[in-house]
Structure 1
């Protein structure tokens, strides 16, 4: 059966194993004291720096826009811990006299901590960060804490200057190319307008009014032609006056016709009176026709000539007006097609012009930003709290180490005593015998002084 220890048993075991406990505890205490006293002191210096918010506008470089806190922290930390910055600090401070090259840079990187303390409200994102440096030399950590933000500032300023200069040069080249393209577009639009000036959409109203005017003139001249033709017809149908020679010949013809009709009614067709009457009728008809032709030729020809000349003049004008009307109608019909082509040219021109204006504006801003970076000098960062040379080490905490050494020695002594007691197989009373399953017949009490180790 398993043995159960009481408090008296535990105290008795400690009395029996106090030598072992003291020895192990003393060894652990000595080692702890040695570590606490011999661990080299480490000093800490820190500088608090604010990035000035009035820098390049946020739309210059998209990376300067609204960036998550973690990304800004990572960018800032990587910038300060960059190899060029650490290399200059190592060289300037001789931080590790016995280590050089990449190993010194890596060791210094492990001794630096960068953390954000907050943001400046309003304006572009601005950071307030702390650079903390640890090391065995108080003067060196102070100098390193002062140099790290300065060197990072120089590197950042150089990068920003290079970006602003590259951006300005790129925008200069783009603006020059766009200016040439704009000039070419303007020449094309001007040539197009000169070539199709009468057929452009803005001339539709003018062409429509001109077509309406030509149409009204055509109708007026057509009415004049109709009137002239009516007068001509009336003139041709006019009967000569009775006292005139044609009128007298017409009367003679009428008389001859009545005589012929009377003779034919009285006699047969072969009768001499009928033949004579017919001969007189034919002579009167010929004379009437001759006199009527002469009358028309002499008296009507002049009027007919004037009327025909008037009709011809009106017809010529109508022809010209019809051609003019067709030209105006053609211009009106062609206006949508030319308007579409002009709109396409103007649309491309407007897009290119908007890009050109934006590029010129950004170029001016980039030039101003480049000049601002040059004028500002070393004011990219502002030191809020400069590093101060520490008077006492920040690590290790020797009081705490001594307390831990004492606790470790006590725990080690108790553990060693317990282990020795556990590994000792001696029986020290009826309880130990009972634990082995052996019946106890009698127990002899202790006689004499107590010994450290009993049987």
Structure 2
């Protein structure tokens, strides 16, 4: 610790030896820095604020029908990527900044300078943006900010339209590709069905389902055949117990003779009479009228029977047994139906035998059909999904065209304050004074290191490594002490004058700032 303190004291004594050189260097640096602060050009800052309204009434109404778009994220990304090289080149043309550019190197330097000085800030909000630019010319700064606002609005709308067009174009291309694949799959499926027509039913089922369906149809036809044969046998037994015809006896009442057309009417009227008698008495007009009609029909039947008996021409028909004729007709129909069912059963048996004969091909055919059908369903599902997405994209485009992607509102138009935004000379001037003092101290330290002087025997012994036999001490006289005090006062005055110099300049700059 003592060595460190001794070394520090030695450096300070060395710097004190070259203090006047340090004061001169500090004054020189102070004058130069002060002049530089005063000569710095004024920087005027032009700014504008833009509000981006991303809310739309149509969004909740079209939810689930149109493709949702994250407009807030798009605007945020746009604000971060707005200051790009193509946009800066466009801004240079819009603000007429390329009028004095002659070479490519100057243009590149101008682009780099603008990309460094252009600023976009959101202030913590995603819908409010501040665009600013600093320049020595207020008019030029205003033109640059105006051009930047125009590019910001146009980029927000143009990029969205470009993305939408690209998406629709891609979906249309995919739809065409899947449409071709779907047509090819349909053709392969159709050719396979035509080639193996016998293995499939009318509904395009697989061969196993077709065999099961044929067996069910065959069993149903056999059941119907057995039922029809049993019905035919029952009709034959009934027919064997009936006489083909009968002759009425001469003394027998005419009411026992059947006249089908009149008997049916009489039976209907008797049923109606029975229903009326259950509700009314015999003296009711409807009951009396019904009895009179029945008597008239029975008289008409008696008269008809007498006419046929006397003429003899219709007596054979009169004597034909109607039950026998009906059974005969039923038997004929049963025989015809049995013949038809036998033919159906034979056809189904032929088909089933044919399908069973090709049973070895059924698994292979089923596998091929399943593969073709699976490919067709996959292509169809993808095709229908793309069609649905295209319709959603069209709805989104129409919605954006009606409501707008986002509403850009210029809250504060581009403006330039009359007071320059930079440089802050009132802050730079004391910093310049501090730098000049530090520079003077550093200069004196470097001189003490370049031209070292030993102030005691220990320092000499340490540096040379030789033994020091003795030292001679200087005796300070009164005149020497006066001269030392005078030099110290002059040094303090020089340093103080430097501080006062920068203090006065700083005070003047502060007063100018308040006056402006």
| TM-score, structure 2 normalization | 0.51
1:26 Cα deviation (Å)?
1.2
Say if 1:54 and 1:349 are closer, same or farther in 2 by CA, change over 3 A. Answer: farther
Structure 1 residues 139 and 320: alpha-carbon distance in aligned structure 2, compared to 1, 3 A threshold: closer
Q: Over alpha carbons, which structure has the higher Rg?
A: 1
When residues 366 and 328 of structure 1 are mapped into structure 2, their CA distance, relative to the original with a 3 A threshold, is same
Secondary structure, aligned partner of 1:448? helix
Partner of 1:44, secondary structure, is strand
2:47–2:130 contact (8 Å) kept in structure 1: yes
* Cα shift at 1:340: 5.4
Tell me, yes or no, if the aligned pair for 1:116 and 1:128 is still in contact at 8 Å.
Answer: yes
Deviations 1:257-284 (A, max 9, x none): xxxxxxxxxxxxxxxxxxxxxxxxxxxx
1:328 offset after TM fit, Å?
Answer: 3.3
Please give the alpha-carbon distance, in whole angstroms, between the structure 1 residues aligned to 2:178 and 2:12: 96
Distance in 1, Cα, partners of 2:28 & 2:96? 39
Structure 1 counterpart of 2:504 = none
Question: In the superposition, relative to structure 1, how do residues 445 and 174 fare at CA in structure 2: closer, same or farther (>3 Å)?
Answer: closer
Gaps of 5+ in 2: 231-337, 488-516
Q: C-alpha separation between the residues in 2 aligned to 1:33 and 1:140?
A: 28
**Contact residue 11 and residue 445 of structure 2 kept, 8 A:** no
* Preserved CA contact (<8 Å) 1:153 1:380: no
1:25 maps to which residue? 26
In the alignment, which of 477, 494, 512 is matched to residue 446 of structure 1? 477
Distance across 2 between alignment mates of 1:446 and 1:9: 26
Instruction: Mark the runs of 5 or more structure 1 residues left unpaired by the alignment.
Output: 121-126, 224-313
Q: Give the CA RMSD over aligned residues.
A: 5.5
Tell me how far apart the structure 1 counterparts of residues 11 and 166 of structure 2 sit (CA, whole Å). 86
Q: Is the 8 A contact 1:131 1:149 kept in 2?
A: yes
The CA distance in 2 between the partners of 1:381 and 1:172, in whole Å, is 32
Residues 190 and 437 of structure 1, relative CA distance in 2, 3 Å threshold: closer
Change (3 A) 1:357 1:51: farther
Contact 2:42 2:420 survives alignment (8 Å):
yes
Q: 1:399 aligns with which of 419, 426, 438?
A: 426
Q: Structure 1's 375 and 99: CA in aligned 2 closer, same or farther, altered over 3 A?
A: farther
Cα pair 2:47 2:416 within 8 Å, conserved:
no
Write the distance in 1 (CA, Å) between the matches of 2:124 and 2:11.
Answer: 61
SS in 2 for 1:451: helix
Aligned to 1:358: 385
| 1:197 match: secondary structure | coil
Question: Could you tell me which residue of structure 2 aligns to residue 145 of structure 1?
Answer: 145
Deviation at 1:107, TM superposition (A): 2.1
The Cα of 1:445 is off from its aligned counterpart by: 3.9
1:283-330 alpha-carbon deviations (Å, 9 max, x no partner): xxxxxxxxxxxxxxxxxxxxxxxxxxxxxxx99x98984553241354
- Cα offset, 1:34, TM superposition: 1.3
Tell me by how many angstroms 1:403 deviates: 1.1
- State TM-score, norm by structure 1: 0.57
Output aligned runs, 1:129-140, within 5 Å.
Answer: 130-140=130-140
User: Within 5 A, what are the aligned runs for 1:130-279?
Assistant: 130-172=130-172, 174-175=174-175, 178=178, 192=193, 195=197, 196-197=200-201, 201=205, 206-213=213-220
Tell me how far 1:171 sits from its aligned partner.
3.4
* Count, aligned residues: 353
1:93 equivalent in structure 2: 95
Residues 29 and 406 in structure 1, CA contact (< 8 A), matched pair in contact too: yes
Q: Which residue of 1 aligns with 2:351?
A: 327
User: How far 1:407 sits from its partner (Å)?
Assistant: 0.9
Deviating more after overlay: 368-377 vs 400-409: 368-377
